[in-house]
Amino acid sequence: MISGQVVKIHSGRYTILCDGMTFDCSARGNLKIKSDGIVTGDLVEIDEIALTIDKVLPRKTFFVRPSVANVDAVNVVIACPPKPDYNMLDKLLLTLFSEKVEVIISVNKSDLPHDVYGEVLKNYSETGCNIVQVSAVTGEGLSRLKELMRGKLVAFAGQSAVGKSSLVNALFDTELKTNEVSGKTQRGRHTTTVAEIYERDGVRIVDTPGFSVIRPDILPEDVALFYPEYFSRLEKCKFRRCTHTTEPDCAVKNDVLSGVLSPERYMRYKNIFNELKRDKLKY
């Protein structure tokens, strides 16, 4: 038995990387029928003679859609076009922070005339995320992005057509299929169909079909715990478990009113809080 990592899954076959060598394996029946199965990024034990996966080792992190495990960080790509969906970004960050995953926000298409980078700084500079302005076309910011990812297994996330595959191509000199934004709808569609790990110069990327619309599995009263800029102000609030919604003498609401914190992100926070509260009442 030897240990390795699943770097690609295609048509029921698993490509396993073990000490620089790759093995094309199948999976034992009991692993294939498990609900969480085997996903890209899984650390596994294989029988190198039978070329079968015999065991999946405990996961550090796990996401269902896309199906990927053991990522150290997620690089969230945002751009314009398409029009940025900050509500989706907030839900994604909420989920990632609750899983204790490091987050990088890459503002792509810096070669185009827009101020998304300024908007992102205004909304997320206090979250602890590394924020970098990049261009897959000109190469701006790619060296810094590569350094932020070095030594980690990084998944890419973001809306369709923000340039995730283009960034992977620019970073790794690969030829992943890319997709332009529709001129009619100003939206894109996912071009990646399987999750696969690429490695170059100490950087490991999971190129995935994209994260689905995120519905965080978090209690509404706990949402504020995963907003770093709100959690850091909790001690200044009158109530120890302040939700920063209806309570008086709230440090977060005071800083929103004074312009220290983004009013737009706060409004989205309240929408997410209320959405989760409604969902909780259903069950």
Is residue 266 one of the residues assigned to a domain?
Answer: yes
The reported pLDDT for the residue numbered 178 is: 61
Is residue 84 one of the residues assigned to a domain?
Answer: yes
The reported pLDDT for the residue numbered 165 is: 86
Question: pLDDT digit of tens for each residue in the chain (283 aa)?
Answer: 899 999 999 888 999 999 989 999 999 877 765 657 899 999 999 998 999 999 999 999 988 777 889 999 999 999 999 999 999 999 999 999 998 999 999 999 999 988 999 999 999 999 999 999 999 999 999 999 999 999 999 999 888 889 988 998 998 887 766 655 444 444 444 444 567 898 888 889 987 766 655 667 899 999 999 999 999 999 999 999 999 999 999 999 999 999 999 999 999 999 999 999 998 776 5
Position of tokens 């070329």? 51
Residues 115, 12, single domain; the answer is no
Residues 150, 89, single domain; the answer is yes
Is residue 215 one of the residues assigned to a domain?
Answer: no
User: Measured between alpha carbons, how far is 181 from 80 in angstroms, rounded to an integer?
Assistant: 10
Is residue 212 one of the residues assigned to a domain?
Answer: no
Residues 95, 144, single domain; the answer is yes
Residues 113, 242, single domain; the answer is no
Residues 178, 85, single domain; the answer is yes
Number of domains observed in the structure of the chain? 3
Residues 50, 121, single domain; the answer is no
Which of 37, 67, 27 lies closest to 192 in space, CA to CA? 67
Is residue 214 one of the residues assigned to a domain?
Answer: no
Residues 68, 93, single domain; the answer is yes
User: Measured between alpha carbons, how far is 206 from 229 in angstroms, rounded to an integer?
Assistant: 29
Q: Phi/psi of residue 225, each to 5°?
A: -65, -20
Read off the pLDDT of residues 107-146 as tens digits, 9 standing for 90 and up. Answer: 999 999 889 999 999 999 999 999 999 999 999 999 999 9
Residues 145, 191, single domain; the answer is yes
Final residue in a domain of this structure, among 207, 232, 255: 207
Instruction: Tell me which residue range forms the domain holding 186.
Output: 63-207
Is residue 213 one of the residues assigned to a domain?
Answer: no
Which of 180, 156, 165, 173 lies closest to 106 in space, CA to CA? 156
Residues 68, 190, single domain; the answer is yes
Residues 39, 133, single domain; the answer is no
pTM of the model: 0.86
Read off the pLDDT of residues 193-209 as tens digits, 9 standing for 90 and up. Answer: 567 898 888 889 987 76
User: Measured between alpha carbons, how far is 27 from 19 in angstroms, rounded to an integer?
Assistant: 20
